[in-house]
């Protein structure tokens, strides 16, 4: 990743539109169903090789590496995004359940060189009084949105490198990544790439399209879904990004955008900021109609250790005005689905009942 640029190693052929599984099919991984229904993603030898090569390079894995992965109970992608590259590089893989104490125990037992954290886990560790991270050389975050300040906080704890990874199940391996060693780096939450032989381009409204060795050839038993996901040989990710000619920034999902007073809002972007606040265990953003007319952006917050003013202040500091919630409602529990993600249908019903 010298100079934050990756050479295009090959010009990949267009992904197959054939609904028949590839001959070298090795696994079928179910997506989380964030777009409304889960899909079985074909994982083949080509994708596995790309995942191992790219991830091992980005995380600088070798035979002496020990990777510690924090896994919520609903996570499946860690097997390919972390375990496979670590093992392929001759290193070791360790897991810790999603809690500060289990992470601290795993640090003491596994003596890892690299750990993969989710932003919410990092906040949990801060609230719990972060165990020492100094034995680590690298901290990586596999989430699409990394809260501002998280890379600097990790580096101040003695970490050598903070790596922000971005990928999706349909691509198996990280597609973008950026390593930073400077706590003052203002672009630490931006991304570089694409990695390996992956090609990336944006549609007029900013949707990310991909093709390359790491990209799936299709969905299991879903030829119509496969066809719908393809455009001129590129895979439609549903992710919305900005590109300034050098760095990429995630700005939401096509399928979760809502209209608020004629402006498009990505709830996941606002939720990432709110979720990063100490004491917030879960949150959901939605729009409700004012009695006086017009729409109002509202956020449901589970966790009463913060205040409505603190939530709004954090959003104003990090987001455009139309992404800032006008009202904050504290609830005992934010509805989630079986995969542990926000159940937006139930959350919308709860919003209407409370506001």
The predicted-structure confidence for 23-69, as pLDDT tens digits, reads as follows 888 888 877 655 456 778 888 888 888 888 888 899 998 888 999 98
Burial class (CB in 10 A: 0-12, 13-18, 19+), 79: middle
Q: How many CA atoms lie within 13 A of 124 on its CB side?
A: 17
The predicted-structure confidence for 258-292, as pLDDT tens digits, reads as follows 878 878 788 888 888 898 888 888 899 998 888 77
Query: Residue 169 above 80 pLDDT?
Result: no
**Last residue in a domain, options 218, 253, 288:** 253
Q: Residue written as tokens 């992470």?
A: 103
- The CATH number linked to 337 is 3.30.300.30
Query: Residue 7 above 80 pLDDT?
Result: no
**Last residue in a domain, options 253, 278, 310:** 253
Q: Are residues 191 and 305 in the same domain?
A: no
Asked whether 185 and 197 are in contact (CB, 8 A), the reply is no
**Last residue in a domain, options 253, 282, 312:** 253
Q: Are residues 264 and 247 in the same domain?
A: no
**Domain span at residue 153?**
2-253
Q: Are residues 132 and 222 in the same domain?
A: yes
Q: Are residues 157 and 31 in the same domain?
A: yes
- The CATH number linked to 111 is 3.40.50.12780
pLDDT at 205: 81
pLDDT at 11: 31
Number of domains in the chain: 2
Does pTM surpass 0.85?
Answer: no
């Amino acid at each position: 990743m010298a100079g934050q640029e990756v050479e295009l190693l090959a010009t990949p052929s267009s992904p197959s539109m054939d609904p028949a599984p590839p001959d070298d099919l090795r696994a079928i991984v179910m997506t989380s169903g964030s777009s409304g229904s889960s899909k079985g993603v074909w994982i083949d030898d080509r994708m596995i090789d790309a995942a191992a090569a790219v991830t091992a390079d980005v995380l600088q894995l070798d035979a002496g590496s020990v990777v510690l992965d924090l896994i919520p109970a609903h996570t499946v992608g860690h097997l390919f995004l972390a375990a496979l590259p670590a093992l392929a590089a001759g290193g070791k893989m360790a897991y810790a359940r999603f809690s500060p104490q289990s992470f601290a125990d795993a640090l003491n037992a596994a003596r890892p060189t690299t750990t993969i954290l989710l932003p919410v886990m990092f906040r949990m560790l801060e609230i719990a009084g972060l165990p020492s991270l100094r034995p680590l050389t690298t901290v990586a975050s596999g989430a699409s949105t990394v809260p501002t300040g998280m890379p600097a906080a990790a580096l101040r704890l003695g970490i050598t490198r903070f790596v922000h990874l971005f990928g999706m199940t349909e691509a198996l391996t990280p597609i973008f990544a950026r390593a930073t060693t400077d706590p003052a780096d203002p672009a630490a939450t931006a991304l570089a790439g694409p990695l390996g032989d992956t090609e990336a381009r944006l549609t007029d409204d900013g949707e990310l399209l991909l093709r390359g060795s790491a990209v799936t050839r299709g969905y299991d038993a879903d030829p119509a879904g496969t066809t719908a996901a393809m455009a001129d040989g590129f895979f439609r990710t549903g992710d919305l990004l900005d590109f300034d000619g050098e760095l990429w920034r995630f700005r939401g999902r096509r399928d979760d955008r809502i209209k608020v007073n004629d402006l498009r809002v990505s709830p996941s972007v606002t939720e990432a900021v709110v979720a990063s606040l100490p004491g917030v265990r879960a949150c959901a953003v939605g729009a409700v109609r004012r009695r006086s007319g017009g729409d109002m952006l509202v956020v449901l917050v589970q966790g009463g250790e913060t205040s409505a003013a603190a939530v709004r202040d954090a959003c104003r500091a990090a987001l455009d005005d139309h992404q800032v919630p006008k009202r904050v409602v504290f609830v005992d529990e934010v509805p989630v689905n079986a995969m542990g993600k926000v159940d937006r249908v139930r959350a919308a019903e709860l919003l209407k009942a409370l506001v």
